[in-house]
Amino acid sequence: MTAAKGLFLTFEGVEGSGKSTQMRLVAGRLRGLGHTVVETVEPGGTRIGKQIRSILLEAAHQELSATAELLLFFASRAQAVDEIIAPALAAGHIVISDRFTDSTLVYQGAARGLGRDVVIELDRISCQGIAPKLTLCLDLEIEAGLARARSRNRQAGDTETRLDDESLAFHRKVRQAYHDLAQREPERVKLVDAGAGIEEVAAEIGSLVEPLLAPCEN
Ligand code: TYD
Orientation angle between helical segments 142-156 and 168-184, nearest 10 degrees: 120
Distance 197 CA to ligand 1 centre (A): 23
pLDDT at 4: 56
Q: Do residues 144 and 16 touch, judged by C-beta distance below 8 A?
A: yes
For the chain, give the mean pLDDT: 95
Least confident among 43-47, 112-116, 141-145: 141-145
User: Phi, psi at residue 39, to the nearest 5°?
Assistant: -105, 140
Q: Considering only CA atoms, which residue is closest to atom 16 of ligand 1?
A: 163
DSSP 106: I
Is the distance from the beta carbon of residue 102 to the nearest atom of ligand 1 less than 6 Å?
no
CB 122 within 8 A of CB 70: yes
Q: What is the pLDDT of residue 11?
A: 98
Tell me how far apart the alpha carbons of residues 168 and 145 are, in angstroms, rounded to a whole number.
11
Of 119-133, 140-154, 195-209, the poorest mean pLDDT is in: 140-154
Q: Is the CB of 163 under 6 A from ligand 1?
A: yes
Nearest atom in ligand 1 to the alpha carbon of residue 73 is: 22
